[in-house]
Amino acid sequence: MLDIKFVRENPEVVKENIKKKFQDEKLPLVDEVIALDKEIRAIKTEVEALKAQKNKDSKLIGQLMREGKKDEAMNLKNSLGGYDDKIKELDDKLPSLTEELQKKMYVIPNIVDKSVPVGKDDSENVENEKFGEPVVPNYEIPYHADIIAKFDGLDKDSAGRTSGNGFYYLCGDIARLHSAMLSYARDFMINKGFIYCVPPFMIHSDVVTGVMSFAEMEGMMYKIQGEDLYLIGTSEHSMIGRFKGQIIKEEDLPLKLTSYSPCFRKEVGAHGIEERGLYRVHQFEKEEMIVICKPEDSMDYYNKMWSYTVEFFRSLDVPVRTLECCTGDLADLKVKSCDVEAWSPRQKKYFEVGSCSTLGDAQSRRLGIRTKGKDGTYLVHTLNNTVVASPRGLIAVIENNYNEDGSINVPMALQPYMGGLKKLTPKH
């Protein structure tokens, strides 16, 4: 969410930003929030003037009484009730106007960084850099679900009976490989100086609206019926929500946190849920990284964070590339974002395995997360990035370490988490 003062003083900048995001239907919101803000400020000014006049008249009553002008004093005293009525009438207007202003402000997108390429959707994202040589072996790599089936590692039929489409059981060596990746990701981030956390997997609605846009919320979040609780779609939600309404000591910044959680997503939209494989599912597990820092440090941490994900996947023998998200592909709260994509030797193309974003002070403004320095209190910046999300990351490791005989090499970094196993051998 933008600062209303910024919108008031820079309406054309805000409108141009909306155009860059190809959301022209939101252009009228700028003038609407400016008008609402003007009305609210006028009411507050009038209330303060009425209170000042009431105090002035109250003091005058005492003076008149001391001067023996009792009738004049009583007439003035009787008129004070009119001030109270008018003040109450004006005060009663403020909650609905303030709520309407906030609702509209929540829909106006954040100002994107100048370096973000302009484009309508993800088809216009721009490749930044490749890391590792993408290899296509001279033997066929089967679909990941078929590879896993040879290890008796996936049971979607039973999951369909227990939970429905979009859920799965991972079993045996494949389940172990999945857990090894997450454990390695945890230790990888701890070694980078991040503090490990396991957060709540459900959060209140005021935290949800504090960390994401309404459109994302509708498309992603599962609500617990009858309670003010939502299942998290990523641990970023509860990790940022942890600091709601807090003033963080400036000397404690930056806060560098890494968190594990299961993640739950509706996956509503054009992509749908995959019937056979594990690309798009309702439930997965993820290691996340979060940074809360001073505004002047946020871009530096943004570049460090995506590089950590690149380093992580390269340590698992997976070639990757980074893709700069264009304006039309950025969620409304984001200032800048890039995807990390892993090479698929089966598809002969890259696919997304992580996303790194800086949100400026959008989340901290919504949630009231501040820090206090020598020049006063100010809003912090928040950033988030995927270390690894499995089963997406699992698919990348399996395909890039698959052998012609159907076995899977265990990357050296994962071997300590697999009891020293160097290779997984299929059962069929």
Structural domains of the chain, ranges and CATH numbers in brackets: 4-107 (1.10.287.40), 122-424 (3.30.930.10)
Could you give the CA distance from residue 183 to residue 177 in angstroms, rounded to a whole number? 10
Tell me if 201 sits within 8 A of 170, measured CB to CB. no
Could you give the CA distance from residue 310 to residue 339 in angstroms, rounded to a whole number? 10
- Residues forming a β-bridge with 417: none
Q: Is 259 helix (H, G, I), strand (E, B) or coil?
A: strand
- Quick one: 270 exposed, middle or buried, by C-beta within 10 A (0-12, 13-18, 19+)? exposed
Best mean pLDDT range from 53-57, 79-83, 197-201, 219-223: 197-201
pTM: 0.90
β-bridge pairing 222-223 and 230-231: antiparallel
Q: Is 266 helix (H, G, I), strand (E, B) or coil?
A: coil
- Residue range 179-223, pLDDT digits in tens: 999 999 999 999 999 999 999 999 999 999 999 877 777 778 899
- Residue range 379-411, pLDDT digits in tens: 999 999 999 999 999 999 999 999 999 999 999
Q: How confident is the model at residue 155 (pLDDT cuts 50, 70, 90)?
A: very high
Torsional class of 166: left (φ above 0), alpha (ψ -120 to 50), beta (otherwise): left
Could you give the CA distance from residue 164 to residue 279 in angstroms, rounded to a whole number? 16
β-bridge pairing 320-324 and 283-293: unpaired
Q: How confident is the model at residue 270 (pLDDT cuts 50, 70, 90)?
A: very low
